[in-house]
């Protein structure tokens, strides 16, 4: 039997852990039985599990993760809980289905708000909106399409020039930007860890339990290093990681992105900037450009650099290279803060599809999945997971139609054609966005 690859980041997340200390869950050992097994304890998997348990509290549900929730790709992201669609790279595919995406994303935010309120989760949840900015002057076609769709959706926004952006962001690096209020900023590691520790009683979670394969017969057998789970149904919440677990045609690929966070600014360093509150910024080209955040504890976060990670593995040399890149970029964007140093650099894995559509639904009589996050995961994958549970449990939810309207991800060829295609796509995006860094 061919065993599935196990994702591995040769680095640790730099998000502050906060005051709450949670013990890790045990590793699965021995033979177990379950009505449902969910592979992956990220936003998608936990949303699916919560909704299953809500629909039928009598179900025996097991969630397994290759590591810990606090170290998962979900916990390593940039912490944007987005309520409005925007372009991904140079692609504006999401904007063509803007109303469906908006309804889904805002439902995802609503679901998270409900859980956070119910369990009093502390995760630096801040409803402060976001800036979508460009560096290059005059080349406004992406921002113009963005504002056209905001007008069609009757969504509020504010256009800001270089001077106005400086007052908000403390840098003159950007020529133009669009501010929209429909975004929440969060510490994703704190949120992810808390979500994994406030699950309903009929859900068991096992950490450090990678799935090596799935055998099929009268039932499914989920194979782990020290145990087996016999189950009627399996939900894969792994995005493109461990592609060997995904039956059928390949439609998504794993990419690694890198983030860095600085030391907190001193009073003297802060005094060189205009007065600022927490803010988040996404670039017009998310592949070539840089995502920035200024946090409530006076830190800057930089997310920039995307590389292929088809087996989900990132080594120390790649992390070091990203650290050097991020420090140079930070010094360029904030030249008055040359004394500010990067404290941590880490990687996380996203799943990309060729046409921006998700991989969502039933794969065979045993397995279903919700993947293809395309780098915008917290609200999108929360609602994708909960709606998949509704569909699998035959619940009547009008948002299922909205989810299906997004279409399905296009076919991806196997390696080495896939490797060549990804390299060409990254080269194209970096060329198109070369002036954004």
N- to C-terminal Cα separation, the chain? 46
Q: What is the pLDDT of residues 315-344, one digit of tens each?
A: 999 999 999 999 999 999 999 998 999 999
Which pair of tokens denotes residue 52? 């299953």
433, 90 Cβ separation under 8 angstroms: yes
What is the per-residue pLDDT for 297? 95
Q: Among the listed ranges 26-40, 87-101, 344-358, 400-414, which one has the minimum average pLDDT value?
A: 87-101
Q: What is the mean pLDDT of residues 51-72?
A: 94
CA 393 to chain centre: 26
The long-range contacts involving 158-165, CB below 8 angstroms and separated by at least 24 positions, are 160/131, 165/131, 165/133
Of 401, 408, 373, nearest to 387 by C-alpha is 401
Pairwise CA distance, residues 76 & 257, whole Å: 10
Q: What is the mean pLDDT of residues 393-421?
A: 92
Q: What is the mean pLDDT of residues 223-251?
A: 91
Average pLDDT, the chain: 92
What is the per-residue pLDDT for 92? 60
258, 304 Cβ separation under 8 angstroms: yes
Which pair of tokens denotes residue 106? 């805002």
Q: What is the mean pLDDT of residues 358-364?
A: 94
Residue appearing with tokens 């040399």: 317
52 pLDDT more than 90: yes
């Amino acid at each position: 039997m061919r065993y599935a690859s196990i994702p591995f980041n040769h680095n640790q997340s730099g998000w502050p852990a906060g005051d709450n200390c949670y013990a890790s869950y045990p590793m699965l050992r021995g033979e177990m039985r379950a009505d449902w097994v969910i592979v992956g304890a990220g936003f998608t998997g936990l949303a699916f599990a919560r909704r299953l348990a809500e629909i039928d509290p009598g179900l025996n549900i097991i969630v397994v993760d290759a590591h810990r929730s606090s170290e998962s790709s979900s916990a390593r992201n940039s912490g944007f809980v987005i309520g409005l669609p925007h372009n991904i790279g140079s692609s504006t595919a999401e904007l063509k289905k803007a109303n469906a995406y908006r309804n889904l994303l805002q439902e995802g935010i609503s679901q998270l708000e409900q859980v956070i309120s119910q369990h009093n989760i502390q995760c630096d949840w801040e409803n402060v909106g976001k800036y979508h900015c460009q560096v290059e002057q005059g080349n406004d076609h992406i921002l113009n399409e963005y504002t056209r769709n905001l007008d069609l959706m009757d969504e509020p926004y504010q256009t800001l020039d270089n001077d106005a952006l400086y007052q908000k962001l403390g840098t003159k690096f950007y020529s133009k930007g669009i501010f929209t209020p429909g975004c929440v900023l969060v510490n994703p590691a704190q949120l992810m860890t808390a979500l994994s520790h406030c699950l309903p009683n009929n859900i068991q979670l096992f950490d450090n339990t990678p799935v090596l394969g799935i055998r099929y017969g009268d039932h499914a057998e989920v194979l782990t290093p020290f145990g087996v789970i016999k189950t009627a149904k399996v939900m894969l919440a792994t995005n493109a990681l461990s592609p060997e677990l995904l039956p059928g045609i390949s439609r998504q690929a794993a990419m690694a992105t890198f983030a860095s966070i600085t030391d907190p600014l001193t009073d003297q360093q802060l005094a060189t900037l205009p007065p600022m509150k927490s803010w988040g910024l996404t670039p017009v080209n998310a592949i070539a450009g840089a995502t920035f955040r200024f946090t409530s504890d006076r830190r800057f976060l930089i997310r920039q650099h995307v590389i292929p990670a088809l087996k989900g593995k990132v080594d120390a040399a790649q992390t070091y290279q990203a650290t050097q890149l991020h420090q140079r970029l930070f010094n360029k964007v904030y030249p008055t803060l040359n004394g500010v140093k990067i404290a941590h650099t880490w990687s996380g894995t996203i799943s990309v599809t060729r046409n921006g559509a998700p991989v969502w639904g039933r794969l065979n009589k045993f397995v279903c999945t919700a993947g293809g996050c395309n780098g915008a995961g917290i609200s999108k994958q929360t609602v994708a997971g909960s709606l998949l549970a509704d569909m699998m449990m035959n619940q009547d939810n009008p948002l299922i139609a909205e989810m299906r309207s997004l279409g399905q991800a296009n076919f991806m060829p196997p390696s080495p054609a896939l490797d060549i295609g990804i390299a060409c796509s990254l080269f194209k995006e970096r060329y198109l966005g070369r002036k954004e860094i």
